[in-house]
Amino acid sequence: MRNALLLVLLTLFISPVFAQTYIVKGKVTDGTGKGIPFASVYIRNTTKGTSANSDGSYSLTLPSGKYEVIFKAVGYKQVSDIITLGSDIILDAALGVEQYQLNEVSIKSGGEDPAYDIIRRAIKKRKTYLNEVNAYTCEVYIKGLQRLLAAPKKFMGFDVQKFALQNGLDSNRRGIVYLSESQSKYSFMKPDKVHEEMISSKVSGSNRAFSFNRASDIQVNFYENMQNWDGISNRPVISPIADNALSFYKYKLIGATIENGETINKIQVTPRNENNPCFSGYIYILEDTWRLQSLSLYITKKANINFVDTLRVDEQYVPINNKVWMPASMKFEFNGGFMGFKFAGYFVSLYKDYDINPQLDKSQFKETLRISKGINKMDSVYWQQQRPIPLTDEEKTDYKKKEVLAAKRESKQYLDSIDNENNKVNATRLILRGYYHRNRFKHEYFTTSSLISAVQYNTVEGLSLNYGGLFSKVIDSLNNRRFAVYGNARYGFSNKLFNAYGGVSIPVGEATTLNLSGGSTITDLSDRQPASTFVNSLYTLLNRQNLGKLYQKQFASASLSTRIYGGWKASASAEWANRKWLDNTAYYSLFHPKGHEFTSNNPLVPDADVPLFENNQSFKVSVRTTYDFSNSYETYPTGRRYLPSKYPTVGIGFTKAIKNVFGSDADYNLITADITKSDIQMGYYGKFSFWVGAGKFFNTKNIYYTDFHHFAGNQVLAYKVGIDKFLLLDYYTYSTGDKYLEGHIEHNFSGLFTNMVPGLRSLKLQEIIDVNYLTTPNLKNYTELGFGFQTNFGLRVMYGTSFNNSEVKANHGLRLGLNF
């Protein structure tokens, strides 16, 4: 109803407004007649303006009246023209290269370049300009374009040629792969609160998608000491006017010029060490006020940035009043390549209609982004009227061509034809990937285990077949919430036991999921599942080490997880289980290394087949809640997505095993607490993560090993990286039914040291230091120290050593971690 009313009001009022406006358009060129890409065009003493496109063409819509139009671009001399607007006009502008004159008196032979004095003054004023505006609002237009310049016909079995033709590229696999525009209303309040409401969105090739353009993602403030560009750079990039910038940059005064009565100093900046995360290029600083007027900077792969070879940043500021300047435009350009692919692109954003004294309330910043339903349905007439940067001919062609492709790709007939092709069964898929059937039109999926993962080997079951399937239907695509039904069947050919279980996962409301399951299974003694079935099979067959210790569990369980409010989550579960001890029944291995013998299925008595526990039943209920001190969220047409907090996440859990309920033998209570935070930014020195947990069993009258608190140990070469995991701890020996205190810290130096070594620099290695700690009544002050390196692709090589105050033998070893 509200949207319908707004539509009626817009219909009533938009037409008269547009009837009184006129279009000023033209082309901004250099001295040779070549278009100047993304030159700025704005009206003097206002924040109304636009930017030329990549060909230099611009278009500006204004009410009738008299205006002074300013044309400017970084490195060019500003031009202005006074117009009286009563009809549409064409107004071209030719900009000459700006001439920056050096003051000969300021140049002293062998002395310090005068740029250093200017930079020191700018650094001294940095905090003033960083904090001069407490809050502001503005409107932002963003255009993003990414272009594929070259690509192989096939890549790792994927048919790139076919994909390229299906997505509007030419026969040489070249063309635009992403083109999008968006308009947003943007609000800011110190110190770091933002709210963005996207009011229109257009994506070439899709009638349903929303733009990836986000004003908050493109915001760059060079008055900040560092720019944290996660993904692009492992280390923060240092601003040329940071407090410590003189230690990282060299400066040269190119000269000065006068523009609008202001003296502008052009200063060249270069890194003292080209391998540091620093920019090269030019910054323009106003005399007397020592603020940034504009900048044109770039950073290259020599500084160890990721994915791109060169990233260029251009920014221009305009005065909002006599004291405050704000960004008028921001442009990112990039290019790069890898494994035969070459690409380039840009994102450009324009800011207008600033209000630096808005009436804002802190409560409105709980929502950081709002994308409402229907904003991607604006027609071509709307965009012709609202688009501040004209489309190039190439972009017009891309929109038209892909509009046809989008209609085709989103039709049921097309989706069904693609699914029919992809759903075909063949032996390779069944063996390596399993069967995968999807109906994208209905958002329904069915998958089964691959045959290679279904075939397992362990000393309890011998050769076993463990095969499962899952059917799911997407209910909420934003948060990947699905209705799902799953099942699994397992048979051991040596112990001749058949097990099967199934379950259903049901989304309830917007933030709650109910899961029901039951049946029987063979599972690990540790609920941390320390050795995967694949790893256990390899070590059993090839190295005669049966790492995994298993038992049979017949069970029925129910769990409910929900978001209570914001960053406050909770879950509750109840489970009845019949636990049966199992002996080893298979002793075959392909190899028999010297000194390696299979151990019993009892990890505490490895040399004898002594049951670890008698067969028993348990009924237990568990509750857990976590809070991350954040209520911030983004709103999409499909619902809310809550954002992680900058503060640690605190968790509390309680488990109670109740005797004599459904024949339960177990009787105990367990309370746990933990606090954790990952990737805490430490500036130039990397990022820090930690996890601390503690727990205590009490009123313990009857407890079994499977009820113990288990730890994420590791006894093999390869392991899955996690902040709460150990490098060298035995899987089972130190599990406890009493109390424990566990802590893990990790520091990632993000290439601080390896980037200084020429031979290692190209590998882009990140230095890792780990410290892991555990104390229980039976294991006093167990400590691990680990150090090593991680690649950008998540592969980690670590060396660890351990020591403790107990009589436990110290250990050491090399570990290969997978962080993906």
User: How far is Cα 690 from Cα 675, in angstroms, rounded to an integer?
Assistant: 8
- CA 809 from centroid of its chain's CA atoms: 41
Stronger pLDDT, 134 or 421, i.e. the higher one? 134
Per-residue pLDDT reduced to its tens digit, 253-305: 999 998 888 899 999 999 998 888 999 999 999 999 999 999 999 999 888 88
pLDDT at residue number 104:
57
User: How far is Cα 95 from Cα 170, in angstroms, rounded to an integer?
Assistant: 36
pLDDT at residue number 208:
64
- Which residues, listed in sequence order, are joined to residue 346 by a DSSP beta bridge? 145, 333
**pTM, full prediction:** 0.85
Take residue 311 and report the two structure tokens written for it.
């990233």
- Structural contact between residues 741 and 775, judged by C-beta atoms closer than 8 angstroms: yes
Give the pLDDT band of residue 18 (cuts 50, 70, 90).
very low
User: How far is Cα 608 from Cα 584, in angstroms, rounded to an integer?
Assistant: 11
Region 246-257: what's the mean pLDDT? 94
Region 794-804: what's the mean pLDDT? 92
pLDDT at residue number 474:
85
Q: With 60 as the cut, is the pLDDT of residue 109 above it?
A: no
Provide the 8-state DSSP code for 423: T
CA atoms within 13 A on the CB side of 692: 3
Residue ranges with strand state E in 658-722? 667-681, 687-702, 718-720
Q: With 70 as the cut, is the pLDDT of residue 795 above it?
A: yes
The structural architecture, per CATH, of the domain 16-94 is Sandwich (2.60)
pLDDT at residue number 337:
84
- Structural contact between residues 346 and 332, judged by C-beta atoms closer than 8 angstroms: yes
Take residue 278 and report the two structure tokens written for it.
């620093």
| SS3 assignment, position 207 | coil
Concatenating the DSSP letter of every residue in 754-786 gives GGGSHHHHTTT-EEEEEEEEEEETTEEEEEEEE
Q: List the chain domain ranges.
A: 16-94, 115-409
Q: With 60 as the cut, is the pLDDT of residue 307 above it?
A: yes
Stronger pLDDT, 809 or 522, i.e. the higher one? 522
Region 726-732: what's the mean pLDDT? 95
pLDDT at residue number 480:
66
Region 686-709: what's the mean pLDDT? 97
Q: φ, ψ for residue 385 (rounded to 5)? A: -80, -30
In the numeric block, the tokens 């694949």 are attached to: 534
Concatenating the DSSP letter of every residue in 271-284 gives ESSTTSSB-EEEEE
Stronger pLDDT, 170 or 717, i.e. the higher one? 717
Q: With 80 as the cut, is the pLDDT of residue 1 above it?
A: no
Question: Which residues, 6 or more positions from 749, have their beta carbon under 8 angstroms from its beta carbon?
Answer: 685, 686, 766, 767, 768, 769
Strands 93-94 vs 21-29: parallel, antiparallel or unpaired: parallel
Region 757-769: what's the mean pLDDT? 86
Q: Which of 40-44, 773-777, 778-782 is least confident?
A: 40-44
Per-residue pLDDT reduced to its tens digit, 211-225: 677 877 777 899 999
Q: With 60 as the cut, is the pLDDT of residue 6 above it?
A: no
Whether the bond into 191 is cis, omega within 30 of 0: yes
CA atoms within 13 A on the CB side of 524: 17
Region 81-93: what's the mean pLDDT? 90
pLDDT at residue number 4:
31
Query: Is the four-CA dihedral 184, 48, 190, 233 of positive or negative sign?
Result: positive
pLDDT at residue number 762:
79
Q: Which of 48-57, 290-299, 632-641 is modeled with the greatest confidence?
A: 290-299
User: How far is Cα 7 from Cα 14, in angstroms, rounded to an integer?
Assistant: 10
pLDDT at residue number 164:
79
User: How far is Cα 173 from Cα 149, in angstroms, rounded to an integer?
Assistant: 8
User: How far is Cα 690 from Cα 711, in angstroms, rounded to an integer?
Assistant: 16
CA distance readout (Å), 777 to 669, 737, 740, 781? 18, 10, 8, 10
User: How far is Cα 696 from Cα 676, in angstroms, rounded to an integer?
Assistant: 19
